[in-house]
Amino acid sequence: MNNIAIIGSSPVSLIYSILLSKLKISSTIFCGHNFGGSWKNSKLLNYEIPISTHIFMHSNGLKKTFDEIGYSPNNWAIKPFLIDNQYNFLSNFGNNNHSRLGAPILNDCIINFLINKIKNEKNISLKKNTIIDKLIFNKIKDNSNSQNSFSGVIMTCGNRLELFIDEKKIDYESKLFEVHSLSIIAFSKNEAKSCFIHIEGDNTLLREIQSIPLRKDNLLINCKISKLGRGFFIDKIIEEVKSLFKKLFKVDLEIIKFQSNIYNNWRFCYSFDANRFNEIPLLIPGVNNIKDNNMRHIIKNSQDLSKLFSDYDLIIKNTLDKLSNKKYDCRIKIK
């Protein structure tokens, strides 16, 4: 098994390339148009910041995956917590006593870690800004290997492309989630700590807040705006953030700069024939069982790293099983 094509550059794709390299399997990552996928960074003042809020929920598999690839994110200074729409504390979440999974942010941002790691791996090559137009699997008739041919492919549910098996185009369903976020850099005289807050309920403008101390008493506040909040002007949302910090942390914020972002999160689900899918060397993280291959399951399984990497040993087994199938070869057409 050699040279696996990996589509996209979300942490899912990048982590898989490192896992393959540990198994001495080489891969080529076709990064797509937005490096990092949903974990993509943007610049605000001189800081590289995530465009949306991020948290690692705990799973034994994700912890083991991080241990295996040598990634160790800092813990939150204050444990992540849930509040209601009146800002009352409800409970803690996203961590457990054995876990150190915390803040995927700034200095220990997972995307920066993965890219540095990949740079030092001989087995991984990176094709930046490259979009795959078509992925074509054909049964191998003789031993000849065509150019641009890969022995297997890892694609994620965030990849949009045309897929052909034995010259038949495979249909797909898709679903778009629009994520609206607001990043604020603020000054605060009182010390503010790193934290992740999830707000429950319908009558609230904000859904999640990530607070990250920066240099010189500055603070990055990254917010995910709720469906309700999208109907309001940004000034109103900023007022909401200020009152939330005042009530929860007794912190007065002076806003220095802000930036609003909209991220289009597409999910794709291809309608394979189960027998065929088992034969082709195509691995789709989150799609473990082809019988379960429907949009609801795809969305549930592919939306959280703790779920996607919930069982490390099974991932390694599935990867080897699936990609070592030699009945098909794969050609790719680049846009």
Q: How far is the CB of 248 from ligand FAD (least distance, A)?
A: 20
Stretch that binds ligand FAD, among 78-86, 153-161, 163-171, 214-222 (CB under 6 A): 153-161
* CA 64 from centroid of its chain's CA atoms: 17
DSSP readout, 141-185? Answer: -SS---TTEESEEE--TT---EEEETTEEPPEEEEEEEEEEEEEE
The DSSP 8-state label assigned to residue 74 in this structure reads: B
Binding mask 44-63 for ligand FAD (x = CB under 6 A): --------x-xx--------
**Which one of 4, 5, 13, 229 is in contact with ligand FAD (CB under 6 A)?**
13
Stretch that binds ligand FAD, among 1-9, 67-75, 240-248, 313-321 (CB under 6 A): 1-9
- On whether the CB atoms of residues 221 and 206 are closer than 8 A, the answer is no
Q: How far is the CB of 79 from ligand FAD (least distance, A)?
A: 16
**Which one of 27, 28, 38, 123 is in contact with ligand FAD (CB under 6 A)?**
38
Q: How far is the CB of 252 from ligand FAD (least distance, A)?
A: 28
Is residue 30 a contact residue for ligand FAD (CB under 6 A)?
yes
Among 293, 235, 309, which residue's Cα sits nearest to residue 66? 309
Considering beta carbons, is residue 32 or 73 the nearer one to ligand FAD? 32
Question: Could you give the CA distance from residue 173 to residue 294 in angstroms, rounded to a whole number?
Answer: 9
Which residues have C-beta within 8 Å of that of residue 176, sequence separation ≥ 6?
Answer: 264, 265, 266, 267
Considering beta carbons, is residue 31 or 241 the nearer one to ligand FAD? 31
**Which one of 26, 34, 74, 112 is in contact with ligand FAD (CB under 6 A)?**
34
CB atoms within 10 A of CB 293: 18
Question: Could you give the CA distance from residue 281 to residue 276 in angstroms, rounded to a whole number?
Answer: 10
Q: How far is the CB of 219 from ligand FAD (least distance, A)?
A: 19
Is residue 259 a contact residue for ligand FAD (CB under 6 A)?
no
| Total residues at interface with ligand FAD (CB under 6 A) | 33
Question: Could you give the CA distance from residue 288 to residue 285 in angstroms, rounded to a whole number?
Answer: 7
Is residue 113 a contact residue for ligand FAD (CB under 6 A)?
no
Rg of the chain (C-alpha set): 21
Residues 294-333 that bind ligand FAD (CB under 6 A): 302-306
Stretch that binds ligand FAD, among 30-38, 168-176, 269-277, 315-323 (CB under 6 A): 30-38
**SS3 state at 2:** coil
Considering beta carbons, is residue 172 or 187 the nearer one to ligand FAD? 172
Question: Could you give the CA distance from residue 144 to residue 68 in angstroms, rounded to a whole number?
Answer: 36
Residues facing 150 on adjacent strands: 330
Which residues of the shown chain bind ligand FAD in the complex (CB under 6 A)? 7-13, 30, 32-34, 37-39, 52, 54-55, 131-132, 156-161, 179, 263, 265, 302-306
